Amino acid sequence: MAYRAGHSLRNESMNIPTKITTARIALVVCLLSFLLVFDFLPESVYKPVYFGPNNSINLVYFIAMVVFVIASSTDFVDGYLARKWHQVTDLGKFLDPVADKLLVNSILIYLAISRYGNISIPVFAIIIMIARDLVVDALRFVAASKGIVLAANIFGKLKTVFQMVAIPVVLLNGWPFSYFDNGWNPYLCVANILIYLATLMSFLSGLIYLCQNVSVFKERKHD
């Protein structure tokens, strides 16, 4: 769904919800820097943290999970405050999905390329999710340059929810599902279901987004 912005995004002042969104972007930068620095350190630095007899993760992943959950929670907080205080702005609508994509995709890429990466996330799923975001972001930037704001669809929101739940499960190496060891791997099952659902939602939301807003490329710039 597309609509004309009342004024330029550049001219909008930052209210508290938008500042929270900006803080989420800053957390992403800090988290990614933290992970990249430790990726060059010896494997001995990755001390295990135990969550039970059948489960252990390294300390870096545990810290990354905590920061990721904190950053993810701000996605709910900024939206809630914006609606409660009637401070929903075009700038906030533009920055919020950008912050979400940076948060999720930075972790996905890290897990794919890191020498300590978790192989439980299929490479094809990462490619689909990131490719979808690149297409949608390109469409958003073209629309923004013409004074048009593109709203997210329900499948895009579901994609974000599944991703933000799946990534902590992967980082925690299956905890708390590892407590229920009954001969099958519940962690692998739960993690895969979440990742596949996120991949499906990514594909559907991207396809719908493109079909609904392809006319943006034909629009003249709004003065």
pLDDT one-digit tens code per residue, 79-132: 889 888 988 887 887 788 889 889 998 888 887 777 655 556 788 888 999 999
For residue 158, give both structure tokens: 């579901």
List the one residue out of 170, 161, 185, 70 whose CA is nearest residue 120. Answer: 170
Per residue in 158-205, pLDDT (tens digit) is 888 898 888 888 887 766 665 555 555 556 677 788 889 999 999 999
* Distance, CA of 155 to CA of 161 (rounded, Å): 10
pTM over 0.85: no
Length of the chain: 223
CATH level 2 (architecture), domain 2-218: Up-down Bundle (1.20)
* Distance, CA of 94 to CA of 9 (rounded, Å): 9
Per residue in 202-216, pLDDT (tens digit) is 999 999 988 888 777
* H or E, element range at 55: strand 55-58
What are the CA-CA distances from residue 111 to residues 87, 105, 151, 221 (Å)?
A: 36, 10, 29, 40
- DSSP secondary structure, 105-134, as one string: HHHHHHHHHSTT--TTS-HHHHHHHHHHHH
Cis peptide before 176 (omega within 30 of 0): yes
For Cα atoms 129, 130, 132, give the angle at the middle one, nearest 5 degrees.
65
Residue 1 exposed, middle or buried by CB count within 10 Å (0-12, 13-18, 19+): exposed
Question: Do residues 184 and 68 lie in contact, with contact meaning Cβ atoms separated by under 8 Å?
Answer: no
